[in-house]
């Protein structure tokens, strides 16, 4: 009981410290990789194919036969034979090459999995960054709406405002509050989704500011980097190697046999009869080959593997085409949003600040009415919110393009004990 109480307070301190610490994308991505079951399965598949490669040079069982009694003559004899069937050497070499290709195939599968996880985590991470930026704007709008409502209520109470102004101010305050609460719900949902991706029990605190993600034009062919294309390219190689293996099976097996036996009794040696006892042994060797006489089954397997190779090649061509066209489409959309962002940064945001400043001055001086002032505020807030939307859409497209390219950050394996300690604490607190 005492140990459990101490553990409880240690975990309480841990969660308090965790909630106060910000995490970067690199940390979140590393956490997602370490706790992901798909990665674990991929690594096990690589280990499986690596171990299976040892079977490429399998010689099969060695046959040992002991024989005795009257198999040579009326006398009792003893002997034995050792026989070994060896696959044709080129078949074993082809099997080894196939095993290497299958190991590479398992590695390509792992690359695809990592690339997919990276996209999901990065998209979720920077969506939260966007929601945080939007939250700050909505808080500012909500604070301003409440202030306007308070002033409008006072103006209505002293007879300086009509009911329309008072009602409009109340509706504006309610609407701004609704948008703020909706944003908080969106943040909670996005945070829970990121916890699922990272297998984290504690909430991840993200404080990174919303900015455009860097993107460098990619000049090399997508086939060199896209994990899905590389995977199907490797599948073609695997099926090509498998076809070579099946063809090599048409070659003969080599059979080697060693005999050792006695010949008890008299044997004619030259012109004399010589007696040989049970302690005298004679040996011989046999070397042969085993050919398949019925070629139809093996021909069928060869044909099936060739068809499978064509299927993989078609999948590769389809993957290359769809990846290239999706990349081109996403790049066009990226440039569209970049133009919009440039417009906002060069013109719209500056004009929005000017409109807000002039509206505040004019409203305070009584030069414009309430409805005109509210319209000016809505215009500036719409511009700023749209700018945030454009940056978010731009960043999501950068992440999509990096996914298509196959970009993958070199994640440093730092100490992430504070994350995994959450599982330990959960186990203690739920005993």
**pLDDT tens digits for 323-336?**
999 999 999 999 99
**What is the average pLDDT value for the chain, to the nearest integer?**
84
* Residue 286 within any structural domain of the chain: no
Could you give the C-alpha distances from 186 to 124, 134, 142, in angstroms and in order?
12, 11, 17
Residue 147 lies in a domain: yes
- Rounded to whole angstroms, how far apart are CA atoms 196 and 184? 19
Is position 185 within any domain? yes
Instruction: Give the pLDDT confidence score for residue 416 in this predicted structure.
Output: 40
Is the pLDDT at 238 greater than 90? The verdict is yes
Residue 429 above 70 pLDDT?
Answer: no
User: Residue 34: what pLDDT?
Assistant: 87
Q: Which of 126-135, 349-358, 399-408 has the highest mean pLDDT?
A: 126-135
Q: Which two three-digit tokens encode residue 400?
A: 């999509």
Residue 419, pLDDT above cutoff 70: no
Identify whether the C-beta of residue 110 lies closer than 8 Å to the C-beta of residue 301.
no
| pLDDT score of 420 | 43
The residue ranking higher by pLDDT, 259 or 412, is 259
Query: Alpha helices, DSSP H only, in 158-272?
Result: 163-198, 227-248
Confidence of residue 133 (pLDDT cuts 50, 70, 90): very high
Q: Of the given ranges (296-300, 360-364, 425-429), which has the lowest mean pLDDT?
A: 425-429
Q: What is the pLDDT of residue 220?
A: 65
The per-residue pLDDT for 223 is 66
In a domain, 80, yes or no: no
* Backbone φ and ψ of 214, nearest 5°: -70, 145
- Predicted pLDDT at 13: 47
Other CB atoms within 10 Å distance of the CB of residue 19: 11
Contact 280, 262 (CB under 8 A): yes
Average pLDDT of the segment spanning 167-174: 86
> Tokens in use for 162?
């009509």
pLDDT in the model for residue 422: 45
Instruction: Give 282: exposed, middle or buried? Use CB within 10 Å, 0-12, 13-18, 19+.
Output: middle
The residue-averaged pLDDT of 178-189 equals: 95
Q: Report how far residue 184's alpha carbon sits from residue 182's, in angstroms, rounded to the nearest whole number.
A: 5
Judge whether 126 lies within some domain: yes
* Residue 222 predicted with pLDDT over 80: no
Could you tell me which residues come within 8 angstroms of residue 406 by beta carbon, excluding any fewer than 6 positions away?
111, 115, 222, 225, 226, 227, 230
Percent of the chain with pLDDT over 70: 88
30 bridge partner residues: none
User: Residue 300 has what pLDDT?
Assistant: 86
Is 392 inside any structural domain?
Answer: yes
Q: Supply 87's token pair.
A: 């696959």
> Which residues partner with 265 through β-bridges?
276
Q: Is residue 160 part of a domain?
A: yes
Is residue 363's pLDDT more than 60?
yes
| pLDDT band with cut points at 50, 70 and 90 for residue 59 | confident
| Range 366-374 average pLDDT | 83
Flag whether 377 is in a domain.
yes
At residue 219 the predicted structure's pLDDT band, cuts being 50, 70 and 90, is low
CB 127 within 8 A of CB 396: yes
Which residues are bridge partners to 272 per DSSP? Answer: 269
- What is the number of structural domains in the chain? 1
Instruction: Report yes or no: 238 and 224 within 8 Å, Cβ to Cβ.
Output: no
Q: What is the pLDDT of residue 75?
A: 78
Closest to 60 measured CA to CA, from 92, 101, 100: 92
Give the CATH number of the domain where residue 403 resides.
1.20.1600.10
* pTM for the whole structure: 0.80
Q: What is the pLDDT of residue 354?
A: 94
Confidence band, pLDDT 50/70/90 cuts, at residue 351: very high
Confidence of residue 417 (pLDDT cuts 50, 70, 90): very low
Q: What is the pLDDT of residue 397?
A: 96
Domain region containing 228: 22-69+95-253+298-409+416-429
Phi-psi region of 199 (alpha: psi -120 to 50; beta: other; left: phi over 0): left
Q: What is the pLDDT of residue 427?
A: 43
């Amino acid at each position: 009981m005492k140990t459990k109480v101490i553990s409880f307070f240690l975990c309480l301190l841990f969660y308090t410290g965790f909630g106060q610490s910000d995490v970067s994308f690199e940390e979140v991505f590393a956490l997602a990789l370490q706790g992901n079951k798909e990665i674990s399965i991929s690594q096990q598949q690589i280990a499986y194919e690596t171990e299976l490669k040892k079977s490429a040079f399998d010689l099969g069982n060695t046959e040992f036969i002991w024989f005795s009694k009257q198999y040579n003559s009326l006398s009792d004899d003893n002997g034995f034979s050792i026989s070994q069937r060896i696959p044709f050497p080129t078949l074993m070499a082809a099997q080894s090459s196939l095993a290497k290709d299958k190991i590479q195939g398992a590695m390509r599968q792992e690359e695809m999995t990592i690339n997919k996880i990276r996209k999901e985590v990065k998209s979720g991470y920077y969506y939260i960054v966007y929601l945080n930026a939007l939250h700050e704007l909505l808080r500012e709008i909500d604070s301003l709406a409440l202030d306007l409502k308070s002033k409008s209520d006072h103006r209505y109470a002293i007879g300086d405002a009509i009911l329309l102004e008072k009602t409009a101010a109340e509706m504006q305050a309610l609407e701004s509050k609704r948008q703020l609460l909706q944003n908080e719900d969106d943040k909670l949902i996005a945070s829970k989704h990121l916890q699922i991706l990272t297998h984290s029990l504690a909430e991840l605190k993200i404080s990174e500011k919303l900015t455009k993600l860097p993107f460098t034009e990619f000049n090399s062919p997508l086939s060199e980097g896209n994990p899905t294309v590389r995977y199907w390219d490797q599948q073609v190689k695997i099926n090509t190697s498998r076809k070579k293996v099946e063809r090599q099976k048409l070659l003969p097996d080599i059979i080697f046999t060693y005999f050792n036996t006695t010949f008890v009794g008299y044997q004619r040696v030259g012109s004399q009869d010589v007696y040989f006892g049970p302690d005298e042994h004679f040996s011989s060797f046999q070397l042969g080959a085993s050919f398949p006489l019925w070629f139809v089954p093996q021909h069928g397997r060869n044909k099936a593997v060739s068809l499978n190779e064509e299927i993989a090649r078609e999948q590769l061509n389809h993957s290359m085409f769809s990846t290239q066209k999706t990349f081109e489409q996403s790049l066009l959309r990226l440039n569209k949003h970049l133009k919009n962002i440039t417009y906002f940064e060069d013109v719209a945001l500056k004009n929005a600040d000017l409109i807000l400043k002039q509206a505040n001055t004019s409203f305070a001086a009584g030069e414009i009415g309430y409805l005109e002032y509210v319209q000016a505020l809505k215009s500036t807030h719409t511009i700023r919110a749209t700018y945030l939307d454009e940056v978010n859409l731009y960043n999501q497209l950068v992440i999509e393009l990096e996914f298509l390219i196959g970009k993958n950050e070199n994640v440093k394996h730092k100490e992430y004990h504070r994350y995994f300690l959450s599982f330990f604490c959960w186990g203690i607190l739920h005993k």
